[in-house]
Structures are given as structure tokens and as C-alpha cells.
């Protein structure tokens, strides 16, 4: 029988929670919140990402299947789908964007002197894009005369790193 923390809680222990709480305070993320704090919302979304959950219903079903372990994962009470939906809709997105930037800066410092296996002199961009469906009633910037506003958009996140270039392509060397 496990009497300690879950693996999920152990992984999230490495996050700078004091920084996260400072950011939440700056944007008033937990102001007048009774049930689902910003840190619990972050834990829900991190759990969803790590376990490949595809919807709020899927997140709720997976978390409610192990209600006895929720406290050890960092949740004060079971998470309902409507509460998570309200939090995702109403919370300031800048909280999570600023926290992500802080995590990226921390990762850059940790791996600045690590060998990448390939020596590059130029900047390398790693792009990750995700298509997000939009609700038409809250779609900002849609033309007022438009009958069909865009129903989705592509979110692109960029990770930039500097490397030294000094490798030759195997196909280029075999052609000469």
C-alpha cells in the first residue's frame, strides 16, 4: 500500500510553486475563488496533458476514478467538469503564459552548456502547433458582417535555442 506521494505529485514538486503563486497574486487569479484554485487548475491541465486526456469530460472521469488519491495529487476535493470549464473560461491566461515563460527560462539556464549532439552556429526553432476549436459567440475579432467566422485557429508555440553549426550532411558528402 502506498503511503507517500503519487508519481504525479512528485513530478510537480520540481515546479517553482512560489513563482507560480506570485504570478497568481499579481493577476488576482484566486480572488473570490471558492472551489478550484489556480494551482489546482494547473494540476488538472498538467494531468490532462501528461495522460493524453482529450476533453473536460475525459479529465473529470479519469480524476474521479481515483478519488482517494486526489488529495495526494494536490487536489482539495473532486474536480467537476463545469467548475473546470468555468475556470478555463474566466481565469486570466497571462498567469499561465508568464509561468510558461519562467519555466522556459529555467530550462534554458539548466541546459545552456549541455551538448546537443549536433553542433550548430545558428538559431534553431522548434515549433509545436495545436488546433483549437473556438466557440463562435466568444470569437474575438470576427467581422460583424461575416456569416461564418473562423471556427478554429492554430496555436503556435516557439522554443528558440542557440547552437554551433559544424556538421556536414551525409548525403552531401556521399555525392562528391
Between CA 147 and CA 36 the distance in angstroms is 37
Give the domain-ending residue among 34, 61, 95. Answer: 95
- Provide the whole-model pTM: 0.66
The answer to whether residue 108 sits within a structural domain is no
Give the domain-ending residue among 67, 95, 123. Answer: 95
Q: In the chain, how many domains are there? A: 2
Q: Does 82 share its domain with 139?
A: no
Q: Does 166 share its domain with 125?
A: yes
pLDDT digits (tens, 9 = 90+) for 30-71: 999 888 999 999 999 999 988 888 899 999 999 999 888 888
Residue range(s) defining the domain that contains residue 138: 115-175
Phi-psi region of 125 (alpha: psi -120 to 50; beta: other; left: phi over 0): beta
pLDDT digits (tens, 9 = 90+) for 107-142: 888 877 777 677 767 766 665 655 555 555 555 555
Question: What are the φ and ψ backbone dihedral angles of 139, each rounded to 5 degrees?
Answer: -75, 110
The pLDDT score that the predictor gives to residue 164 is 38
Q: Does 91 share its domain with 151?
A: no
Amino acid at each position: 500500500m502506498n503511503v507517500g506521494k503519487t508519481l504525479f505529485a512528485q513530478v510537480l514538486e520540481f515546479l517553482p510553486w512560489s513563482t507560480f503563486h506570485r504570478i497568481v497574486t499579481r493577476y488576482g487569479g484566486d480572488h473570490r475563488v471558492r472551489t478550484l484554485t489556480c494551482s489546482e487548475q494547473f494540476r488538472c491541465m498538467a494531468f490532462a496533458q501528461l495522460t493524453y486526456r482529450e476533453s473536460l469530460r475525459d479529465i473529470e472521469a479519469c480524476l474521479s476514478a481515483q478519488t482517494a488519491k486526489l488529495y495526494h495529487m494536490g487536489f482539495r476535493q473532486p474536480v467537476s467538469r463545469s467548475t473546470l470549464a468555468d475556470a478555463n473560461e474566466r481565469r486570466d491566461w497571462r498567469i499561465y503564459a508568464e509561468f510558461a515563460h519562467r519555466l522556459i527560462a529555467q530550462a534554458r539556464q539548466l541546459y545552456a552548456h549541455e551538448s546537443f549532439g549536433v553542433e550548430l552556429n545558428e538559431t534553431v526553432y522548434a515549433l509545436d502547433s495545436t488546433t483549437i476549436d473556438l466557440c463562435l459567440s466568444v470569437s474575438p475579432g470576427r467581422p460583424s458582417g461575416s456569416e461564418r467566422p473562423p471556427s478554429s485557429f492554430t496555436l503556435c508555440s516557439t522554443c528558440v535555442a542557440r547552437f554551433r553549426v559544424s556538421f556536414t550532411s551525409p548525403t552531401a558528402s556521399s555525392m562528391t
